[in-house]
Amino acid sequence: MLKLFFHTGRYFLLMKRVFSRPERWRVFFRQMVREIESIGVSSIVIVLIISIFMGAVCCIQMAYNLENPLIPRYLIGYGTRETMLLEFSSTIVALILAGKVGSNIASELGTMQVTEQIDALEMMGVNSACYLILPKIAAFVFFIPVLTLFSMAIGLFGGYIASYVTNGVTPHDYVVGITSMFRPFYVTYSIIKSFVFAFIIASVSSYHGYYTNGGALDVGKSSTHAVVYSSIVVLLFNLILTKLLL
Amino acid sequence: MIEVRNVYKEFSGHYVLNDICAEFEPGKTNLTIGQSGSGKTVLLKCIAGLHSVSKGDIFYNGRSFSVMNEKQRKEIRKEMGMVFQGGALFDSNTVEENVMFPLEMFTNMSFEERRERANYCLKRVNIVNANKKFPSEISGGMQKRVAIARAIALNPKYLYCDEPNSGLDPVTSIVIDNLIHDITIEYNITTIVNTHDMNSVMEIGDNIIFIYKGRKRWQGNSEGIFDSGVEELDNFVFASSRMKQIRNLQNRK
């Protein structure tokens, strides 16, 4: 319990240092663009693969579970859309990205810590936390809506492919389903969640990377901790935000 | 001038530094020698402000480091350059970008001026035709020299080198030693070098401090090191000299 308080306190102290004025705005924006490329753009392929399969599986499972002839078939498309919008495109994608982006951030910062690169920055009088972590958080929070919206579109397309190649639902019924009873707030809800998740993943992973002690083995441990703890916090906040927003 | 007054440093109840007092003068190559684990790096990091001291104080030209606020510390850090044991070059930046980094962060120089200054510093440490290479593409000796170039880019008043010779062959070590010594005199910098290499001690040691188990046991110059009367220092010097004798004998054979 004491450890939890220690880490929580140290996390907030780190965030205080992170959210200070950058030394040079020009350098900050350049770093941010680099991070958008390395954290955001490079995640598009994994999001595409996950989303297309999630959408397809969701559609097949809906069809499998809604076999009652009294239930209209278009509800399969409707259910797939709601599942993608409400949960999969934000939470599941966030959990996958916690693995990819979280471990990437933690191992990068951890390596910089054990090779004294962070000390070198501090030595020069640079606020290393702000210089290294702020562009990562800003880039990920900035780019996450793109990934979420992309995941929604691709997931629905995955469902369409599934309807096309299987007998569960006709493509026509599926399209009717995904265009029925649409509530735009669900997209807003999903994007709000993804903003929070992006912040959690980037900041928790940065925390674990930044405070790495020791050598290569410890960088691996930090990377694992980053993925595990950011996933747990994402799930916790998923519950809190769902209760608050819906 | 840097003064270290009664400095103690504790980690989890264990004192790594015990009542260290020392003075480091400008224009001199000050060496801190001692076995591995004696506390040299911790002392250097305390002086550089990377570790806070548990007791005692460090003075920069009479100004106490511990009473300075964050802004004042930041200002004084801009006057410091440090060469870390592993070089600590930024992996994702090229050699030139590494040297240009402090200039970009703390000066209003244009890109061309920064590049010119970086090239001058790189030439000063005899690095040519490696500007566009990444740290992983150059040798350990070159990395150390690039680290020195980065450390002197902002014309520092204080230069700290943590075991600049570690992992280097004797010839490259001498090159690095001489480079540090020449730069110290040329720019009138207060230089502190951590080392356990006796060759460095004899070559460039203007002011030497011997640390044993976290305590300062001796201070003097390279001429007085053999007549110190300190048993631990004699053992340290003897072990290094014996290694040298073995090497000499092997060379003769």
Same domain, B71 and B123: no
Letter string b/e over residues A130-149, b meaning 16 or more CB atoms within 10 A of that residue's CB = bbbbbbbbbbbbbbbbbbbe
Q: CA–CA separation, A124 vs A210, rounded Å?
A: 17
Same domain, B71 and B10: yes
Q: Which residues of B touch A119 (CB under 8 A)?
A: 45, 50, 82, 84, 88
Q: What backbone torsions phi and psi does residue B58 show, to the nearest 5 degrees?
A: -125, 130
Indicate which of A29, A124, A130, A136 best probes the interface with B, i.e. most B CBs within 10 Å of its own CB: A124
> Is B106 part of the contact surface with chain A (CB cutoff 8 Å)?
yes
Same domain, B46 and B103: no
Which among B213, B192, B195 has a CA at the least distance from the CA of B38? B213
Per-residue model confidence as pLDDT tens digits over B99-115: 999 999 999 999 999 99
Domain end among B155, B174, B202: B155
Q: What is the domain count for chain B?
A: 2
Indicate which of B104, B107, B136 best probes the interface with A, i.e. most A CBs within 10 Å of its own CB: B104
pTM of the predicted structure, to 2 decimals: 0.88
Please name the amino acid found at residue A231.
S
Q: Which of A 111-130 lie inside 8 A of B, CB atoms? A: 111-112, 115-117, 119-120, 122-126
pLDDT at B97: 95
> Is B217 part of the contact surface with chain A (CB cutoff 8 Å)?
no
Same domain, B144 and B21: no
* Pairing mode, strands B14-24 and B55-60: unpaired
Q: Which residues of B touch A111 (CB under 8 A)?
A: 91
Same domain, B6 and B57: yes
Stretch A229-239: mean pLDDT:
97
Q: What backbone torsions phi and psi does residue B138 show, to the nearest 5 degrees?
A: -120, 165
Same domain, B168 and B241: yes
Domain end among B130, B155, B180: B155
Q: Which of B91-100, B147-156, B174-183 has the lowest mean pLDDT?
A: B174-183
Mean model confidence pLDDT for chain B = 87
Q: Which domain holds residue B171?
A: 2-79+159-252
ipTM metric? 0.84
End-to-end CA distance of chain A: 32
Q: Do B91 and A117 touch (CB under 8 A)?
A: yes
CATH number of the domain where residue B60 is located: 3.40.50.300
Domain end among B138, B155, B172: B155
Q: Do A117 and B89 touch (CB under 8 A)?
A: yes
Same domain, B151 and B94: yes
DSSP per-residue string spanning B160-201:
EEESTTTT--HHHHHHHHHHHHHHHHHHT-EEEEEE--HHHH
pLDDT at B196: 82
Same domain, B72 and B196: yes
Strand locations in chain B, DSSP E?
2-11, 14-24, 29-33, 55-60, 63-64, 80-83, 158-162, 190-195, 207-212, 215-220
Stretch A64-84: mean pLDDT:
92
**How far is CA B198 from its chain centroid?**
15
Q: Which residues of A touch B91 (CB under 8 A)?
A: 111-112, 115, 117
Asked whether residue B246 carries a pLDDT value surpassing 60, the answer given is: no
Per-residue model confidence as pLDDT tens digits over B188-229: 899 999 988 888 788 888 889 999 999 999 998 888 888 778
Per-residue model confidence as pLDDT tens digits over B37-48: 889 999 999 998
> Is B161 part of the contact surface with chain A (CB cutoff 8 Å)?
no
**Residue B87 C-alpha, separation from nearest chain A C-alpha, in angstroms:** 8
Grouping H, G, I as helix, E, B as strand and the rest as coil, residue A90 is helix
**Residue A45 C-alpha, separation from nearest chain B C-alpha, in angstroms:** 23
A230: CB partners within 8 A, 6+ apart = A98, A102, A200, A201, A204, A205
Same domain, B247 and B163: yes
